[in-house]
Structure 1
Amino acid sequence: ARERLKDARIETRLLENFPNRGKGAAVRAGLLAARKPIGLFFDADLSTPLGETPKLIEPIANGEIDIALGSRALDRGLIGIHQPWRREQAGRAFNLLVRTATGLPFWDTQCGFKAFRLDVCRPILEAARLDGFAFDVELLYLAQHAGLRTREIPVRWNHAEGSKVSFFRDSLRMLREVIALRARA
């Protein structure tokens, strides 16, 4: 991923996160360390092609929104290679649970492709506590309660083998985190 970014002339900086505290902790540290007005994170397997970046960056740069989240759910025709059926159904069920438990209006909170206007998002990044895979839900939940303008945007996406997400272990953990998030509110 780093080489692809370099080829695209996108400025990057490597941050080390030891010991590993989880995806949420790593993404939060990266966004808080960002020096530009807009921060973007994406999955290292580039399941969402970097060519989709303008879809998220432009509405933020134009002042229309504060957070842009890539979505596989809004236009499933943009998915080139689908996840295995069971995993796709679990994702849909998780997002239904998220919508029900939090009131968030989004259909795909877990797509690993999001952009943030950092001047207004820094307080929610600093307030966030979840370090695991449900950190996306927490950020969006905090953003909604802070009145930030958020938009879900359809993006191209391809499943890549080798995911570090364990279907059973991580699903239960994410479920507990979402329920705890709702209880904290």
Structure 2
Amino acid sequence: MQISGHPRVEIVVPVRNEENDLGPNIRRLRAFLDAAFPFRAEVCIADNGSTDATWEIGNLLATELSGVRVVRIEQPGRGRALKQVWSESTADVLAYMDVDLSTNLNALLPLVAPLVAGHSDVAIGTRLAPGSRVVRRPKREVLSRGYNLLLRGILGSRFSDAQCGFKAIRADVAAQLLPLVEDTSWFFDTELLVLAERAGLRIHEVPVDWVDDLDSRVAIAKTVTDDLRGIARLNKNLGRGRIDLEPLRATFGRPAVADPRTALAARVVRFCAVGALSTLAYVLLYVALRHLMNAQLANVLALLVTAVANTALNRRVTFGVRGTENRTRHQLRGLVAFAIGWSLTASSLWLLHTVSAVPARGVEITVLTVANLAATVVRFSLFQSWVFDDEAPTLPSFEPPALVDNTRSH
């Protein structure tokens, strides 16, 4: 739905203890909007729980600059600030950006224009798509890419960058979407995007020029922990049908075009993510057990424990099977796949010990890890064509899996 008349855009800048950057950067933002932005735009400084002079500086800026206001939210939390201000705003398009202005402001019009035109419902800046130019520390780059890969593997997301502090949403979409978002902190962005995607909303991505803020005060360890908890909570709630997305789908959702190749690729990505976790767990468990018993027994016990967990995770995450119906059957079939995997690793051990009576422990672990990865490929074929297919014959088929999408719609 295209926004008619003279659209209004409100840009929220969430801040907490930003007394040094607030004044210069709000003046810079306001000057850009007045000189180079074609839509009527207002700036809202959302002070969430500052204990320094941020609130006082915000009030001075609101008095000094036309089109700037300030709101005080007593409790901290970027998500809390955005949810409150966006819910109360009367603008047509709602946006936000970080106070450090790490994103080049020239990306603001490409971010907002598709929302005004009615082409898209949500728009995000992305630092991870082709065309973006990013300057930041390697640690932050690795964490960002790893986080977004995790979202793809567990939640099946297709957007490229969940955390870039540069986003916009149409107000009519926000009115229905915001009440569904629980998080009040850094996971707010991810939850909003995942729910929007699951509801069939169009998410527009804008590659941005972005320079890392060297004075960033984000507590990385706490943020990572909170994000992992958020992913687990959101995945659980979506899986159990606790989030009602039907009103959003009915009002704004657009039918997805099914592409079996894309569906299979998404399934492979999720399977690989589960497989990587299972392989790591297997290696750690094998090393621990190897101190207590011989190699073959340690191998079979480590495989058995990780196989049960692997089947349960793939049942839920990769193939979207919910509830308890056929769970025992799926686990029993999963054990057949486990037996095939065990035969591969056991044969590898036997061959290794035939070649060398006392192989080095590192060589032993390497051979087992490679064999376990090979077994993973076989298990995927079995999972795809037999383990979770309740219409399959009672004996496993070794034919290549057909490119058919049996997953839930994302």
Q: Same fold (TM over 0.5)?
A: yes
The question of 1:132 aligning with 2:163 is answered: no
Task: Report the Cα offset of residue 168 of structure 1.
Answer: 1.3
Task: Give the counterpart of 1:56 among 99, 111, 129.
Answer: 111
Tell me if the contact between 2:126 and 2:132 (Cα under 8 Å) persists in the aligned partners.
no
Task: Give the counterpart of 1:91 among 130, 137, 144.
Answer: 144
- State the alpha-carbon separation in 2 of the partners of residues 139 and 105 from structure 1: 13
**TM-score, length-scaled by structure 2:** 0.43
Letter matched to residue 24 of structure 1: G
Tell me if the contact between 2:114 and 2:204 (Cα under 8 Å) persists in the aligned partners.
no
The question of 1:17 aligning with 2:73 is answered: yes
Higher relative contact order (Cα pairs below 8 Å, separated by 6+ residues): 1
Tell me if the contact between 2:126 and 2:208 (Cα under 8 Å) persists in the aligned partners.
yes
Runs (5+) with no aligned partner, structure 1? none
Task: Give the counterpart of 1:157 among 200, 203, 210.
Answer: 210
Letter matched to residue 29 of structure 2: L
The question of 1:113 aligning with 2:166 is answered: yes
- State the alpha-carbon separation in 2 of the partners of residues 35 and 60 from structure 1: 16
Match of 1:4 in 2: 28
**TM-score, length-scaled by structure 1:** 0.92
Tell me if the contact between 1:87 and 1:167 (Cα under 8 Å) persists in the aligned partners.
no
Q: Which moved more, 1:39-48 or 1:1-10?
A: 1-10
Tell me if the contact between 2:87 and 2:174 (Cα under 8 Å) persists in the aligned partners.
no
Letter matched to residue 38 of structure 1: V
Tell me if the contact between 1:48 and 1:113 (Cα under 8 Å) persists in the aligned partners.
yes
Task: Report the Cα offset of residue 54 of structure 1.
Answer: 0.5
Match of 2:81 in 1: 26
CA 1:129 to 1:165, structure 2 compared with 1: closer, same or farther past 3 Å?
same
- State the alpha-carbon separation in 1 of the partners of residues 220 and 188 from structure 2: 17
Tell me if the contact between 1:95 and 1:107 (Cα under 8 Å) persists in the aligned partners.
yes
Tell me if the contact between 2:132 and 2:208 (Cα under 8 Å) persists in the aligned partners.
no
- State the alpha-carbon separation in 2 of the partners of residues 184 and 57 from structure 1: 31
Matched residue of 1:100: which SS? helix
Which of the pair has more CA radius of gyration?
2
Deviating 4+ runs (over 2 angstroms)? none
Task: Report the Cα offset of residue 94 of structure 1.
Answer: 0.7
Task: Report the Cα offset of residue 77 of structure 1.
Answer: 4.9
- State the alpha-carbon separation in 2 of the partners of residues 4 and 32 from structure 1: 26
The question of 1:67 aligning with 2:130 is answered: no
Match of 1:101 in 2: 154
C-alpha RMSD over aligned residues: 1.5
- State the alpha-carbon separation in 2 of the partners of residues 77 and 143 from structure 1: 23
- State the alpha-carbon separation in 1 of the partners of residues 132 and 183 from structure 2: 32
- State the alpha-carbon separation in 1 of the partners of residues 78 and 100 from structure 2: 14
Runs (5+) with no aligned partner, structure 2? 1-24, 35-40, 44-68, 239-410
Match of 2:201 in 1: 148
Match of 2:221 in 1: 168
Task: Give the counterpart of 1:43 among 98, 112, 120.
Answer: 98
- State the alpha-carbon separation in 1 of the partners of residues 231 and 217 from structure 2: 20
- State the alpha-carbon separation in 2 of the partners of residues 29 and 5 from structure 1: 22
- State the alpha-carbon separation in 1 of the partners of residues 221 and 198 from structure 2: 30
CA 1:144 to 1:77, structure 2 compared with 1: closer, same or farther past 3 Å?
closer
Letter matched to residue 202 of structure 2: R
